Chains A and B, each alone.
Chain A
Amino acid sequence: MAQSTLIIMPAYNEAARLGIVIGDLFRAAPGTPLLVVDDGSRDGTAEAARAAGAAVVAHPFNLGYGAALQTGYRYALRAGFARVIQMDADGQHDPGSLERIVAALDEGADLVLGSRFLDLTSYRPPLARRAGMGLFRTLAAILLRRRLSDVTTGYQGLSRRLVDFYDRRGIFPPDYPDANIIVRAVRAGFRLSEVPARMADNPAGGSIHVGLKPVAYVFKMVFALLVEAGRRLPAPEARG
């Protein structure tokens, strides 16, 4: 994979699995620069990532998933990377799907979604999560007048142009960037593409959506999507 691609992996208390996840990634994409953004972990995640060969940016305290991605984007911009691929640190995202995402970026897409539902996957989320995904998918389809198979995937590829857009003040949500930021990018004129991506069941069964969080999350995301309908967006930079 080209050196101009940076893989960003936000991580929070993932020390136990991170070495294996990074090892799998380097086997699938040897030599690809990897940045682990340690979001204030207390279990030695940063040390585990360094030991596995990744570059590490460590937040001084927990800032949230979106902020970790934001930090990664800023790192990519400053280091001059042409594109970014973001994937989770828990091993759910199969590195074997990286090539497809890079190919779609090479074909001119600004945002490539690694879809868990396009084909070749056995991923079956629980019923409640499926319902939430369906709701966001429907709202996104109404706002974009286009059906997408997976608007909540964290496995994404981004062009530098889109990363630059996300880095502007007030564009990228620092808590949960999800269907809302995808809608925002497409409405701002960025080209979107979906490719199939394999998704493993969460090896340890953990998720950031636990307890009452999913209720608040769905509630907030629905409003965030409704707000998108009325939002005026700055135009993206012209293509180079």
Chain B
Amino acid sequence: MIPLCVAAAGLLLVLLAYGLACADRLTTGQGVAWALIGALLCAGGLLLRIGFGGAGSAAGSWALGFAVLLLLCAGVAQACAISRLEERAKRLAQEVALLRCGCEAERARRPAPPEAGE
């Protein structure tokens, strides 16, 4: 029963990471990290449930399934979690670029200042 609870908790953690990432509450790194921890818990719980010894090909299939699950989790987190900080930094850089463009256009419109001594 306990291994299944661990697996369920892991799955919940993945879903939570997904939800928080979608709601923009986690950075990309945090989203991926929580999703991976959740997937590992889920994989560990299920492996404990089916057992390591004597399971043979079944364990192999599970392991492959978990590997896919890990990739899926990383993908989900990455697809959703554009961190607020990253977004702000990009916005700032865009504003700088637009401002600079405006300044250059303004400078081009104005007559050149007279040289010193003229």
Give the chain A neighbours of B82 by CB distance below 8 A.
Answer: 173-175
Indicate which residue in B24, B75, B96 contacts A220 across the interface (CB closer than 8 Å).
B75
A59, B97: Cβ atoms under 8 Å? yes
Residue B93 at the chain A interface, CB threshold 8 Å: yes
Residue A57 at the chain B interface, CB threshold 8 Å: yes
B93, A61: Cβ atoms under 8 Å? yes
Which has the most chain A C-beta neighbours within 10 Å: B76, B80, B97, B101?
B97
Which has the most chain B C-beta neighbours within 10 Å: A37, A67, A170, A223?
A223
Residue B79 at the chain A interface, CB threshold 8 Å: yes
Indicate which residue in B80, B87, B97, B105 contacts A58 across the interface (CB closer than 8 Å).
B97
With A220-B75, A223-B79 in contact, is A70–B101 under 8 Å at CB? no
Residue B27 at the chain A interface, CB threshold 8 Å: no
Interface size on B, residues (CB 8 A): 19
Residue B100 at the chain A interface, CB threshold 8 Å: yes
Residue A139 at the chain B interface, CB threshold 8 Å: no
B96, A75: Cβ atoms under 8 Å? no
Contact with A along B16-31 (1 / 0, CB 8 A): 0000001010000000
Secondary structure dominating the interface of A: mixed
B80 shortest CB reach to chain A, Å = 6
Measured in the bound complex, the distance between the Cα atoms of B97 and A220 in whole Å is 28
Secondary structure dominating the interface of B: helix
Give the chain B neighbours of A57 by CB distance below 8 A.
Answer: 97-98, 100-101
Give the chain B neighbours of A223 by CB distance below 8 A.
Answer: 75-76, 78-80
A215 shortest CB reach to chain B, Å = 11
Q: Which B70-116 residues have a C-beta within 8 angstroms of A?
A: 71, 75-76, 78-80, 82, 87, 90, 93-94, 96-98, 100-101, 105
A220, B79: Cβ atoms under 8 Å? yes
Q: Which A224-240 residues have a C-beta within 8 angstroms of B?
A: 224, 227, 231
User: Which 10 residue pairs are nearest across A and B when measured between Cβ atoms?
Assistant: A223-B79, A57-B101, A71-B94, A223-B75, A224-B79, A57-B97, A59-B97, A219-B75, A220-B79, A67-B90
Q: 7 interchain pairs (CB within 8 A)?
A: A55-B105, A60-B93, A71-B98, A75-B98, A169-B87, A220-B75, A227-B80
